[in-house]
Homo-oligomer: A and B are copies of this chain.
Amino acid sequence: MNFLVVQRILGMLLMLFSLTMLPPIGVSLHFGDGNWQPFFDAFVALLVFGVIAWWPVRKRVRELRLRDGFLVVALFWVVLGIAGSVPLLLSSELDMTITDAVFEAISGFTTTGAIIFPTLHDLPPSVLYYRSQIEWLGGIGIVVLAVALLPMLGVGGMQLLRAETPGPVKDSKLTPRITETAKALWIIYLALTVACGLAYWAAGMTPFDAVAHAFTTVSTGGNSTHDASIGYYDNAVIEMIAVIFMFIGGVNFSLHFLAWRHRRLSDYLRDPEFGAFMRILFVSVALYTLVLWYTRFAHEPGEALRLALFQAVSMQTTSGFVTDNFTHWPGALPVIIILSAFIGGCAGSTSGGMKIVRWLLILKQGQREVNQLVHPSAELPVKLGRKPMDMRVIDAVWGFFAVYVIAFGILMVALLATGEDQVTAFSAIAACMTNTGTGLGEVATNFTSLTDTGKWICVLAMLLGRLEVFPLLVLISPTFWRR
């Protein structure tokens, strides 16, 4: 393990991250909310801390190796989670416990957007802005992780994305490739955010809300500046903008990259996961619309469609924005909506969940198993699009599925043991592990009612979900630390 190289990277990361304290200071001064001091103190503290970590090892520019990747990935989120909580903790106006501050920061960086504040409307604008900015940073972080890093680490079958990704493939050396890919992804991400913000502004949001919501729409984070979320505006145009940009955020950014580089859209249509994403959304919007209309929950078909479209896209992309309290929707809809987040968006997107490509492979492999039973001696390949899949990828996807489900069960039982009821425990872990942030029962609106232990369990769920479980498992495996 190159511990010193890892330390150097984390030191640089802290120094960089300290700079993100500056915009909230500007917001605070502009709105005169009197909350600039904690951000300034955090800026200084994180910068100093970063320098202290970086300076002694600044000459350690050795290449990272594959194995170091796991440590960097896990520490990246953990360290940023803790660093991100600093300005919240320092604010006497917020008066947060350490648990709540870390929960809020991790919830942001993992683009979960689970709310720990009883209400948002008395928060200083600088804090509202900061919450959105964290999700935005987490969003690009996850895209780089999923497009450039996890495929090379081979986590949960993500090596299948390897061929699609841009840049030279140097499997044993991480840095050059990540740097190049990350740069391109940043530009695309930034462009999408600017477009989304301008659209929101044009549709009637204040510039402040437009920026804050653009940050959390493209990142499918789902933090809002209002307690009623996007429902606050009651504006169909704003909802459509949100739907479009959540959808874009839920697509594999490798596809955006290819479309941007080749100046054509056909790459999207040739991608089997993108096709499945479209079909899933179509079916769920149709289903929700029919149920809402058939049960007379919505008074007219247009209203049913508007509610259904927004909620389907918001939950499928694991954004977690709401325009209505879907907990009270009729029949099985609330649970179906929560379950849809388990499928999630495309791999390499800002979305959470298990990712559509994995479900595709599981279904195809399930089908293959059935056919294998009928024809026991046949050799039946599993194909995605026209490409036959390596069995190693399939095994890794099965492994991911099983480990994900088992981890879910364990975390749910742990949360039950803290005294939560079954609906709350199920949907809280679902909301956190899929990085959606929106649950049922006690956690339908926010997570304030959980015990401190319960909040930490949720933090673990958010990290496990965001890191696709395996990097954390690798870190606790004896094999990893041997030698």
Contacts and interface: CB of A to CB of B under 8 A. Distances in A.
Contacts of A402: 362, 365-366, 398, 401-402
Given A365-B395, A417-B331, A479 B422 contact: no
Contacts of A388: none
B374 A67 contact: yes
B395 A480 contact: no
A473 interface: yes
A376 B154 contact: yes
Nearest to A422: B423
B154 A335 contact: no
A280 interface: no
Interface in A356-411: 362, 365-367, 369-376, 391, 394-396, 398-399, 401-403, 405-406, 409
Contacts of A396: 369, 372
Interface residues of A, number: 52
Interface string A198-209: 000000000000
Contacts of A479: 370-371, 374-375
A276 to B, nearest CB: 15
A339 interface: yes
Contacts of A154: 372-373, 376
Interface in A303-343: 331-332, 335-336, 339
A288 B251 CA distance: 46
A473 B375 CA distance: 14
Interface string A64-85: 0011001000000000000000
A155 interface: yes
Nearest to A66: B376
A366 B399 contact: yes
